[in-house]
Structure formats: structure tokens, C-alpha cells
Amino acid sequence: MGEVSGLGMDGLYVVIAIFVLVLVTVAKGVRLVPQGHKWVVQRLGKYHTTLNPGLNILIPYVDQVAYKVTTKDIVLDIPSQEVITRDNAVIIANAVAYINIISPEKAVYGVEDYQIAIQTLVQTSLRSIIGEMDLDDALSSRDKIKAHLKNAISDDISDWGITLKTVEIQDINPSGTMQQAMEEQAAAERARRATVTRADGDKQAAILEAEGRLEASRRDGEAQVVLAKASQQAIEMVSTAIGEKEMPVVYLLGEKYVKALEELAVSQNSKHVVFPADISSAIKGMLGK
């Protein structure tokens, strides 16, 4: 009875082993690929096929899933790097690339690590593109850089079964030292413009002041001419009116003379006023008579 019982236990172990082997075999032969992925299958160490999403049947122990690749868009962050422009300015630029794997077998067999390869390719192309541009153009031409960058790397990564959806320039800024130099240059330019504006203002003010003095002098001269002509006409009219009569003239001149002496007496600079004894004789002397 003991021997029969031992044989029964051995047979149970064999059945369990066969059952486990069947389960493992089925698991290796039937594969469910999730949506958004593709699996690369090798048969005896060599590429055999690519499994699409859904139920797939493989030959157990012969076929092996070597790589599992996503077919979703992949976002690659391109690290920041220093780039020298054509005019020897240093700027810091980084980017982000959006790629999609079309042929997984080319991506895994065509390059060791396609993500690192694309990052390096973008960095190299970015340095080359910006190196042909001046600083001002590089800072203001993101769309132009983006277009050149996409054209530069699209053909290269297509050999790896990868398509470049788009590439964006995240940041492109002058380096710290360059930014400080630009700020100093901008401050100097603003100071120069202020100096020029102030000089122009002083120049215009001086011109206007000189023109004002010139106009005032011209007007004074014209006024003196007018007064001289008026005095001449007045003298001629008085001379014509009095003829040889000297008393009216003496009276008028005497009146002016007295008035001038009164003003002299009021002045603070004068302490004594002396009137001539014979005003009429003095006036006649002034007239030469």
C-alpha cells in the first residue's frame, strides 16, 4: 500500500509540473500588446517581427519580446547650452522636441539610444544655426531658428524610423556676463541720447536768445531812427513857425532847462543846485546868439 501511495504522489507532482509548463508555454505564446505600444520580437536572437496592439501568437521558447516601444508622442527636453553667435556674443539656449516612433525596429536597432542621439543632434544643430546669426537676430528670430532646426534634423532621425513632430525654442537669452554688458551699453546709449538732447536744447535756447537780442536791437535802431526823424521834423516845424523870433524859443528852452534842474535837485546824487543869474542870456548863449 505504501508503494502505491508513493507512486500516486509522484504522479501528482508530474501532473502539476506538466500543468505549470503548459501555463508558462501558453503565456509565452500568447501576448496581449496594450494600445499605444509596439513590441519588437526576436526569433533565436534575430529580429523577426513587430507586434501591434491586441492579441498576438508567438512560438514559445523560440520567439522572444526584446523591446517594448511606445508609439505615443515623446517629449525630449534639450538641456541648456552656451552658444556663440557670429558677432562673438555668448547666449544660453535650450529647446524641446516632440518625436514619434514610426518604425520601432529601426529605432532600437538603428541607434544605441535614440533619445540621447536626438538630444545631441538637436544641440549640435542649434549651435550651428545660431553660430551663423548675429546676437540681435538670434534673440528675435525664434521662428526662423525653429524652422532651420526642424529641417536640419528631420532627415537624420527619419533613418531611425522616427519622425520629428515639432521642435520649440524654450529659452534663448544672453549669458550673465553678456547681459550685464548689454545693460551697460544700453545705459551708456541712454546717457548719450540725453546729452545730445540737452545740448540740442541749449543750442536752440542760445539761438532763440540771440535772435531775440538781434530783433530787439533792430527794433531799438528803428525806434531811434523814427525818433530822430520826428525830432528833425519837429525842429523844422518850430523853425518855420518862429522864423527870426527868438523869445518863444527862449521861453521853451528855458522851461526845459528849469525842469531839468528840478530833476537834478531831486536826485540823491546831487547835494547843491546852482541856477545861473541870467537864464535868458545863458539860453541865448546856448543858441549862439
Of the candidates 179, 141, 157, the residue with the CA atom closest to the CA atom of residue 132: 141
Return d(Cα 114, Cα 157) in angstroms, integer: 9
What are the contacts of 279-285 at 24+ separation with CB within 8 A? 279/254, 280/250, 280/254, 282/257, 283/250, 283/253, 283/254, 283/257, 284/246, 284/250
- Domain final residue, candidates 69, 87, 119: 69
In a domain, 185, yes or no: no
Are 49 and 87 members of one domain? no
Residues 127 and 225 in one domain: no
Could you give the CA distance from residue 46 to residue 241 in angstroms, rounded to a whole number? 141
Per-residue tens of pLDDT for the chain, all 289 residues: 455 455 567 777 777 888 787 787 777 778 889 999 999 999 988 999 999 999 988 888 888 899 999 999 999 999 988 888 888 888 888 899 999 999 999 999 988 899 999 999 999 999 999 889 888 888 888 889 899 999 989 888 999 999 999 999 888 888 766 666 666 666 777 778 878 888 888 888 888 888 888 888 888 777 777 777 776 676 667 667 665 555 555 555 566 666 666 666 665 655 555 555 455 565 555 555 5
The answer to whether position 202 is within a domain reads yes
Residue 171 in domain: yes
Question: Do 114 and 158 belong together in one domain?
Answer: yes
94/265 Cα distance (integer angstroms) = 95
φ and ψ of 128, to 5 deg:
-65, -40
3-state helix, strand, coil in the chain (%, to 5): 60, 20, 20
What are the counts of helices (DSSP H) followed by strands (DSSP E) for the chain? 8, 8
62 and 15 part of one domain: yes
- Residue range of the domain that includes 214: 190-238
Is the pTM above the cut of 0.95?
no
Strand locations in the chain, DSSP E? 30-33, 37-43, 46-51, 54-57, 63-70, 74-84, 90-101, 162-174
